[in-house]
Structure 1
Amino acid sequence: MDLRRLRLLFELSRLGSMRAVAETHGLTTSTVSQQVAALAREVGAPLVEPDGRRVRLTPAGLRLADHAVTILAAVDTARADLDPEAEPSGTLRVGGFATAVRSRLLPVMAELEASHPQVRVLVREHEPLEALGLLAEDDLDLALTYDYNLAPAPLPSTMRAVPLWTTAWGLAVPADASGADPDSPVRDLRRWSGHDWIVNSRNTADERAVGTLGALAGFTPRITHRIDSLDLVEDLIVAGRGIGLLPSGRPSAPGTRLLALDDPPVTMTAYAVTRLGREQWAPLRLLLDRLAVSAAR
């Protein structure tokens, strides 16, 4: 089996079109098509089929592309062992929540652009449940996700998660609310039981964390607003429309107070999640190592 053809199939499974693969590798679309057809003859099975004006992988093509990740990773590892100067190359598809993309991934992408120009990173903004679903379908190579200590997220046995960083979260309330003392941790959450609560609209983690906090304090939080943007959460709090959890490292907007929670504390942990066995693919390994260094800073 020709590894060059296998790599083109691998890229086709990620980029979705012959044209995109051709542009990435400096080839013509016709050349890519011919190479994929030659690979199909080698393995004795059709690998692509028409899909309107484009093509898509057949079930056999999808299975071979899945094997290609492991095969190419092993080859890259062997080459690196024999030639430490060999440069990683390939296209990485990364999906993650906005904070991780903005604060961690973008700086690493800038570093890679300078140090490893043959590694290309494609970014999609997704909340954890969305990103893990895409990872399971092999529509992503890396998912940047999070969960809370009060709402740990189960991970399929086919995936591997590496913790990147942990952040304490507090209870954000209107600045003029009674008991809104930022210097005193919340000792009795029931004080806030009569308020409306705001949770994430695209992920269930903070709703579960809020529910656990309320249950431990003896009440059921009244969820009224579901918001994705942290800025919009703050706007609703300032307007007196509710209260919610926000990260402690984030400057509070005028009109809000962030109260510490320590009984129990609420912490969010961010993860780099890959499909099991994929993390040794050279471009992905490079990105994971850079993210780990960035998190350590």
Structure 2
Amino acid sequence: MELHQLQMLRELGELGSVKAVAETMSVTPSAVSQQISLLQRQVDTPLTRRDGRNLVLTDAGRVLADAGADVINAMATAKAAIGAYQHERHGTVSVSGFHSAGQALFAPLVRRLDELRRESGMREIPVADDRVRPGVAGGPGLAGAAVGVPRVRLSDEDVAQHDFPALTARYDLVLAHRMDHSPAWPESRVRVIPLAHEPLDIALAVDHPLAAKAELSPQDVVDYPWVASRSGYSPADVLAAIGAVASRPVNVVHRINDYSTAAALVSTGDVIGLLPRHTASPALNPGVTLRPLTGISTRRRIDLLVRPENLKRASVMLVAEALQQVMADLTASRPLPG
């Protein structure tokens, strides 16, 4: 078995189509099909099956793909042991972020990396093993190594919560969010670096009658018209909980995922909404104020998802550390609304 064949099988399981694998690995779809066919000839059990027009993994294919991921991680460990990854000086790190995270974090991240670049040309930079520990000061398993400051390639990927792990096939670091009650990330496939535990607050026009209150209950807000996200995204989950607690449905007038547009509509006074306390800051305008919601859980977890082998790369870990610092600065600058 060749390593690149196992990699293609792994990506097929993550991405769900030969075309997506080809785009991610910068090869042709026929090359992907050919390599998976060669891999299939080496085992007696079917590794893939047809599901409509797509080629998906069988249970045996998933087992082999998971084993292949372990091999890839082991190879990354071996490279790190001889310094091939740890001493890289000017790598490029790809980062994807959902929309509100991108608006709030991408520009400060670039500025943070520029600051590091302007410092002395060489400094001690943390280099990680694959043990992930939360926190800015310690961060993911650290050891000293002198490297340069990498460049970043940034993309916005606004997907439903369950689709974030698959993005690690395309990006070195994936900014992801999930509500507290939603399923945990699949830590057998990805490593998780926590960034924030962020409340979603009620967004109101500054002259709205509810703005006079310091905090709001589901009963306070359930009868007003709303702007909310589409199903599968954090605000929609909280809205469902509001309706359940208040024992009557919420009237959603507008379904909009972009927080800037939602905030603009809220500022008119015609609707109320839900906005994240910290990452929505670039979307807010002087006509909008936030109030905490009591009685239900409104917090979402913002995490970095990364494949285990990428934790061996000093450039990736430097960017992850910078994102931790940027998020810490953002949350410290936005206290409880009121």
TM over 0.5: yes
Question: Residues 126 and 235 of structure 1: is their aligned pair in 2 closer, same or farther, counting only changes over 3 Å?
Answer: same
Structure 1 residue 191 displacement after superposition: 2.9
Of 261, 264, 273, the match for 2:296: 264
1:49 CA drift (Å): 4.9
Structure-1 separation of matches of 2:195 and 2:150 = 22
Structure 2 counterparts to residues 109-188 of structure 1, below 5 A: 109-112=110-113, 114=117, 119-129=150-160, 132=164, 134-135=166-167, 138-149=169-180, 151-156=181-186, 157-182=188-213, 184-186=214-216, 188=217
Give the match for residue 99 of structure 1: 100
Secondary structure at the counterpart of residue 210 of structure 2: coil
Hey, what does 2:255 align to over in structure 1? 226
Q: Which residue of 2 aligns with 1:25?
A: none
Q: How far has the Cα of 1:276 moved from its partner?
A: 4.2
Unaligned 5+ segments in structure 1 are 4-11, 18-47
Instruction: Give the Cα–Cα distance (whole angstroms) in 1 for the partners of residues 239 and 287 of structure 2.
Output: 22
State whether structure 2 residue 235 is matched by structure 1 residue 206: yes
Residue 191 of structure 2 aligns to a residue in which SS? strand
User: Could you tell me which amino acid in structure 1 is paired with residue 192 of structure 2?
Assistant: A
Once the two structures are TM-superposed, the CA of residue 59 in structure 1 deviates from its matched residue by 4.0
2:292 maps to amino acid = A
The whole-number CA distance in structure 2 between the counterparts of 1:76 and 1:14 is 26
Correspondence 1:217 to 2:246 = yes
* 2:149 and 2:315 in contact (8 A); partners too: no
Aligned-residue offset at 1:122:
1.9
> Please, what TM-score do these two structures have when normalized by structure 2?
0.60
Supply the AA of the counterpart residue of 1:230.
Answer: Y
C-alpha RMSD of the superposition: 4.1
Relative to structure 1, the CA distance from residue 117 to residue 59 in structure 2 (aligned partners, 3 Å threshold; closer, same or farther) is farther
Superposition deviation, residue 235 in structure 1? 1.9
- CA distance 1:13–1:111, change in 2 (3 Å): farther
- Could you give the per-residue CA deviations for residues 69-116 of structure 1, whole angstroms, max 9, x where no partner exists? 5255224421349x97x2355443321123333433443345546266
Residue 212 of structure 1 deviates from its aligned partner by 1.2
Cα displacement (A) at 1:13: 7.3
Deviates more, 1:219-228 or 1:253-262: 253-262
Counterpart in 2 of 1:38?
none
User: Any idea what SS the aligned residue of 1:270 has?
Assistant: strand
Equivalent residue for 1:274, pick from 306, 312, 317:
306
Q: What CA deviation, in whole Å up to 9, does each residue of 1:28-55 have, x standing for no partner?
A: xxxxxxxxxxxxxxxxxxxx6576xxx7
TM-score for the superposition, normalised by structure 1: 0.67
Letter in 2 for 1:98: H
Partner Cα separation in structure 2 for residue 197 and residue 212 of structure 1: 14
- Whole-angstrom CA distance in 1 between matches of 2:25 and 2:89: 22
Letter in 2 for 1:289: E
Other structure's SS at 2:248 match: coil
* Letter of the 2:196 counterpart: W
Mapped pair 1:191 → 2:220: yes
Identity %: 22
Alpha-carbon distance in 2 for matches of 1:257, 1:289: 31
Q: Which runs of 5+ in 2 are unaligned?
A: 4-20, 40-64, 122-146, 330-338
What corresponds to 1:285 in structure 2?
317
**Is the contact between residue 165 and residue 270 of structure 1 (CA under 8 Å) also seen in structure 2?**
yes
| Residue of structure 1 in register with 2:56 after alignment | none
